[in-house]
Amino acid sequence: MSCVGWTYAHTQRGEAARIALDPDDIGGTVTSSKGPEAGVWVIAETTELPTKFVRIVVSDDQGRYVL
């Protein structure tokens, strides 16, 4: 697995809220030539553990995901 440092902001009650990822988190934005893509499955897996380990998330309406 690889790790990506990423921060995103969203508004809540008119204030910007920031969510910072730890060094062991994976996050980013799914994009295409049309811009951010919502509803995309993002799959991270490794076979470097005693058993296969998989995490699956779905990108939000702005294409963002966090594992």
pTM, 2 dp: 0.66
Calpha distance 10→14 (Å, rounded) = 9
- pLDDT of amino acid 17: 44
Calpha distance 3→28 (Å, rounded) = 10
The pLDDT tens digits of the residues spanning 21-64 come to 889 899 999 999 999 999 999 999 999 999 999 999 999 999 99
What's the chain's length in residues?
67
Calpha distance 31→1 (Å, rounded) = 20
Contact 58, 35 (CB under 8 A): no
What's the angle, vertex CA 67, arms to CA 48 and CA 53, rounded to 5? 25
